Amino acid sequence: MPADVSDPVLLVSGVWSNKLGEPLAGAWLAAAVEDAWSSSRTLHGALASAGVAHGMVNPAWSGDLDATRALIEPVVVAAEARLTDDLLDQLAPIEERLNATRQRLASWQQEATATAMGIGSRAIAAGACKTSSAARSR
């Protein structure tokens, strides 16, 4: 769609998926290649700055399609890098919370083991007392 931009802008859809290939989250980016450097930003911000709005008519485009096609590979590479960075940024606080939970679990397991050992020792001692009492009464 022709819009108020100085360079071609490609809209890219990125999807994070699990090991089964099922989508978990997605992102839309707008990427432009300027001086062989691809930059990306959110789709909505790019559309707003280009003056693209609801209800616009998509007139015929007279640009160079081959030149635009040549931009696809660097844009995809940049979009993958951006999505990876975004994902890592989102995973860092989750990993911190998981590590804190793992530490609490390990602490609880140690406490439970110590409590069980204490109960077991008292039970064994109590059983030994009963056994020796029974042996004496014979």
pTM of the shown model: 0.54
Please answer whether residues 37 and 64 qualify as being in contact, where contact means their C-beta atoms are separated by less than 8 angstroms: no
| Largest Cα–Cα separation, the chain | 110
Residue 123 lies in a domain: no
Residue 19 lies in a domain: yes
**What is the C-alpha to C-alpha distance for residues 75 and 38, in angstroms, rounded to an integer?**
6
Residue 80 lies in a domain: yes
**What is the C-alpha to C-alpha distance for residues 93 and 123, in angstroms, rounded to an integer?**
45
Mean pLDDT of 91-107: 92
Residue 95 lies in a domain: yes
Q: Which domain holds residue 36?
A: 9-99
Residue 2 lies in a domain: no
Tell me the one-letter amino acid at 109: Q
**What is the C-alpha to C-alpha distance for residues 102 and 86, in angstroms, rounded to an integer?**
25
Residue 111 lies in a domain: no
Give me the pLDDT at residue 89, please. Answer: 82
Banded pLDDT at 104 (limits 50, 70, 90): very high
Total domain count, the chain: 1
Which parts of the chain are beta strand (E)?
Answer: 9-17, 23-34, 37-42
Tell me the one-letter amino acid at 13: S
Tens of pLDDT, residues 25-42? 888 888 777 755 556 667
Banded pLDDT at 135 (limits 50, 70, 90): low
Residue 129 lies in a domain: no
Tens of pLDDT, residues 78-89? 888 888 888 888
